[in-house]
Structure 1
């Protein structure tokens, strides 16, 4: 209400200021919200009027600069002075470029800010640019966030990755040396073993009339031991070769690989009157010969580890899953006790006597090596007396 003197008394003008009061209330509420958000986020909010050079620095600047500097300012010299000397030119150039380029509407830069006492911390500075109808920058609003914790984490991850990379290189070198040793040792040992076997055979043949039963038994044990030693050496040779796959990866029809394996095992399948069920297997990209060896070892195990007079039945399935192909070979054999489910993949680990089931205990360790070479994994689930299911994956 405005009142002023007039003839015969006072005159008054009454104006409705409801809209004005509502706008003032909204502005006050907005400022309060803006302040609370600034405090809650610990970000340093800034507002720069490029026409008047007036700058508003929020309360977060007090935390960053470790002194009371928030409020209205007409220069950003204090901010520039505290930027790390190595980063200052980058920040100034980035800021100038985005202001001068009419196509730019966003500003972002990372830099280090010197502490008041000692040291520095990392910041990320982001802002939105408002332009007039001619594309000239007239205002910028943004926030500065302390990212020192993130930078420290990134740096620790870099160090850790570097150490892991170095450890992997050392492991690869050691593995190659071990594989080379196994190859050379097994190759060089074959000739002496062959010679021992040959001469023992000659002794048995030539001097058999002069030997009593005990002597003949000893020679038989020696020949059998030499034969088993040669088998172990050949298995070592095969195991060392499993990690040195020279063939290129290629796309193959897995059903064709399995069909090839079943042809190779045809006599065993016929002798044991086994039934093999092969599902619709996915095509995969792999080292074909190595993958044939995996299927051959797993299927032959399903045929071998059966109760006497029991007809084997084997199911081969496969499917495509996110990032990998997954296969399973299930049998109705003797099964495996739970405590041995991991042990069976260790080289030369056998769960049965040689007179029960033949083999040297190397097949599954070769499967594991080949599968891991394809960046997959292999495992087994089993119920004693009912059968086992071997699973393995191949990375796509």
Structure 2
């Protein structure tokens, strides 16, 4: 199918039902002439109008329809407007639905107070000014339509995000094997045949090896990113100091090679995900070691302090720093601030950290100045946690 055909193809059935559905108005009055008169005033509004001549009839309609607004007469036989409103609000579909009471009885404050206590948004008196009534109702209809559009958009975006992450997971998972084989055979070729290749051939072979390794790293990072939120996050008591020691041992060669100084006080045990702490320290320590200008040895300080209900962790470095203009990009997936030739990476690590830590109830941010280093900090709840289901 061509692009033009796709653009002109009809939308799938049901795809715009929520966005295009007309709002519904419920009029409740025991006098039929009042119902007809009010309907005539509101007829020009883009809404479907339902009429009920008693509280029981109104409750029956509430069970079958979702209404944007209810105009409810106060003085009715058998069940007055106040009783009807209370019973309406017991139904789930009526949560947050505005109710305007319409009455011809006394204008004493106690009736208006009773209406407000029930949750009415307005209390107007007969005879009704048609223009004022129409204006009031239109405001609530517009708010209803806007809210429904936002809910529909959020649902669509949520589905799109889920489909994209599922696609990323499947692609990255299925791509691992061919890239692994490409890397393995290129390495084997380098070991067995490098001496038979001329300078150009060796250079091309190194290109293959370098790009295969970069692709493996990118696939691994995408797979990690796509898994966050798709699988249950098991909260447990995590010794953050022990995990930091493990991460530092993994970076031992980089630390020794750059003469880096790592300083940290004893870190707390936190009720969180051990995988989260590992991902955070791997990325933050790795970035602190990587983003250096070479004029001085790296110095990295890791600390944690209690702040109310949270632990506030910080990783401070003396590296190249980050310009404030890049603040909105730093945690966005695939966004890189430097050329890969200068500072290798995939642009996925910090976005994974943010996504992961927000699922665990924390936040991550940074302060920085170009040439003076950066301090990344993240918070985690101190209170006892529970297992979070994937979203």
**TM-score interval, normalised by the smaller of the two chains:** 0.5 to 0.7
Q: What are the Cα deviations for residues 251-278 of structure 1, in whole angstroms up to 9, with x where unaligned? A: 5454455455445445544544433343
Q: Which residue of 2 aligns with 1:173?
A: 159
Q: Which residue of 2 aligns with 1:249?
A: 235
> How far apart, CA to CA, are the structure 2 residues paired with 1:262 and 1:207?
37
Residues 1:176 and 1:111: Cα distance change in structure 2 (over 3 Å): closer
Asked if the contact 2:101/2:123 (under 8 Å) is kept, the reply is: no
> How far apart, CA to CA, are the structure 1 residues paired with 2:253 and 2:160?
41
Q: What are the Cα deviations for residues 93-124 of structure 1, in whole angstroms up to 9, with x where unaligned? A: 97xxxxxxxxxxxxxxx9732579xxxxxx74
Q: CA deviation at 1:179?
A: 1.6
Asked if the contact 2:280/2:353 (under 8 Å) is kept, the reply is: yes
| TM-score (structure 2 length as normaliser) | 0.56
Q: Which residue of 2 aligns with 1:189?
A: 175
Q: CA deviation at 1:83?
A: 6.9
Q: Which residue of 1 aligns with 2:313?
A: 327
Asked if the contact 1:341/1:381 (under 8 Å) is kept, the reply is: no
Q: Which residue of 1 aligns with 2:123?
A: 146
| Residue 287 in structure 1 maps to residue 276 in structure 2 | no
Asked if the contact 1:306/1:312 (under 8 Å) is kept, the reply is: yes
Asked if the contact 2:81/2:101 (under 8 Å) is kept, the reply is: no
Select 1:237's aligned residue among 211, 215, 223. 223
> How far apart, CA to CA, are the structure 2 residues paired with 1:159 and 1:323?
39
CA RMSD between the two structures: 4.3
> How far apart, CA to CA, are the structure 2 residues paired with 1:362 and 1:189?
17
More strand by share: 1
Q: Which residue of 1 aligns with 2:262?
A: 276
Q: CA deviation at 1:330?
A: 1.6
Q: Which residue of 2 aligns with 1:393?
A: 379
**Counterpart of 1:343 in 2: which secondary structure?**
coil
**Counterpart of 1:183 in 2: which secondary structure?**
helix
> How far apart, CA to CA, are the structure 1 residues paired with 2:180 and 2:217?
11
Asked if the contact 1:376/1:392 (under 8 Å) is kept, the reply is: yes
Asked if the contact 1:282/1:320 (under 8 Å) is kept, the reply is: no
Asked if the contact 1:345/1:368 (under 8 Å) is kept, the reply is: yes
Q: What are the Cα deviations for residues 372-393 of structure 1, in whole angstroms up to 9, with x where unaligned? A: 3234433222112211111333
Residues 1:86 and 1:374: Cα distance change in structure 2 (over 3 Å): farther
| Residue 361 in structure 1 maps to residue 361 in structure 2 | no
Select 1:113's aligned residue among 93, 97, 102. 102
Select 2:328's aligned residue among 342, 367, 370. 342
Residues 1:203 and 1:146: Cα distance change in structure 2 (over 3 Å): same
**Counterpart of 2:214 in 1: which secondary structure?**
helix
**Counterpart of 2:178 in 1: which secondary structure?**
helix
Q: Which residue of 2 aligns with 1:315?
A: 301
Asked if the contact 1:253/1:284 (under 8 Å) is kept, the reply is: yes
**Counterpart of 1:214 in 2: which secondary structure?**
helix
> How far apart, CA to CA, are the structure 1 residues paired with 2:188 and 2:375?
47
Asked if the contact 2:228/2:352 (under 8 Å) is kept, the reply is: yes
> How far apart, CA to CA, are the structure 1 residues paired with 2:170 and 2:252?
34
Map 1:87-102 onto structure 2 (within 5 A): 89-91=78-80
**Counterpart of 2:330 in 1: which secondary structure?**
helix
Structure 1, unaligned runs of 5 or more: 1-81, 95-109, 117-122, 128-144
Larger Rg: 1
Residues 1:114 and 1:318: Cα distance change in structure 2 (over 3 Å): same
Residues 1:248 and 1:205: Cα distance change in structure 2 (over 3 Å): closer
Residues 1:373 and 1:160: Cα distance change in structure 2 (over 3 Å): farther
Q: CA deviation at 1:91?
A: 4.0
Q: CA deviation at 1:360?
A: 2.8
- The higher-RCO structure (CA 8 Å, 6+ apart) is 2
**Counterpart of 1:315 in 2: which secondary structure?**
strand
> How far apart, CA to CA, are the structure 1 residues paired with 2:259 and 2:377?
24
